[in-house]
A and B are shown apart, each in its own frame.
Chain A
């Protein structure tokens, strides 16, 4: 019962977040800002909340294996990001590229997010972190 309540709370929180983002994105767009990506993020949040609620049944959302995989994925993604930051820094220092601050930050954000998701998928398929 406690698990179901928690799951329902998370589902409602996800739906509320999605709805708020969609409303904010549309409102800002109507006011002339280029903010449709916020509404797109809201749609993504809604889809994630619905799919997670629908898929998981009455299983726990996480356990010790998924916690371990998430922790290691974040650590690996942090490592990938620091390597990328180093590469960008060296490339700028040597005059090979000249990205703006926002471009460089965007690259790091995309790499952090993307690599974390990728590591979670790969490790989930393998079943565990490291050798077993």
Chain B
């Protein structure tokens, strides 16, 4: 899974800590999300989409391989 969190975060001039505080998670969780190493819950994805003012599909990019793997 790839994400555009880093790009959108920069566009809104937010640090990882700012975004983490806005969505109520630890900074490391934002770091792993940006690296595509953590699959967030729908609730967290929704909170991030609201914080970054973009749709979930715009932020989280799933390829065919990602959808096939569990």
Q: Do A and B come from one complex?
A: yes
- Please determine whether B37 and A64 come into contact, CB atoms closer than 8 angstroms: no
Q: Which of A60, A63, A64, A132 contacts B36 (CB 8 A)?
A: A132
Say yes or no: is B1 at the interface (Cβ < 8 Å to chain A): yes
Query: Once bound together, how far apart are the Cα atoms of A62 and B28, in whole Å?
Result: 11
From B17, B35, B40, give the contact of A64 (CB < 8 A): B40
Interface string of A29-60 (1 = CB under 8 A from B): 00000000000000000000000000000011
Chain B residues whose CB sits within 8 angstroms of the CB of A128 once the complex forms = 32, 37-39
Interface range, A side:
10 to 19
B interface, size bucket:
20 to 34
Name which of A60, A63, A66 has the most chain B CB atoms within 10 A of its CB. Answer: A63
* Cβ B32 vs Cβ A65 within 8 A: yes
Q: How far is the CA of A64 from the CA of B47 in the complex (A)?
A: 13
Complexed CA–CA distance, A27 and B44 (Å):
50
Nearest-neighbour CB distance to chain B for A72, whole angstroms, equals 13
- List the B side residues contacting A127 at CB < 8 Å: 32, 35, 37-38
Per-residue A-contact encoding for B20-39, CB less than 8 Å = 1, 0 else? 10001111110010011111
Interface centre among A63, A65, A126, A130 (most CB of B within 10 A): A65
A-B contact pairs, 23 of them (CB 8 A): A59-B26, A60-B25, A63-B24, A63-B25, A63-B26, A64-B25, A64-B29, A64-B44, A65-B25, A65-B26, A65-B28, A65-B38, A66-B26, A124-B28, A126-B37, A127-B35, A127-B37, A127-B38, A128-B37, A128-B38, A131-B70, A132-B1, A132-B37
**B interface vs A, CB < 8 Å?**
1, 17, 20, 24-29, 32, 35-41, 43-44, 69-70
Using A63-B26, A126-B37 as known contacts, list a sample of 7 further A-B pairs with CB atoms less than 8 Å apart, ordered by residue number in A: A59-B20, A60-B24, A63-B24, A66-B26, A131-B69, A131-B70, A132-B1
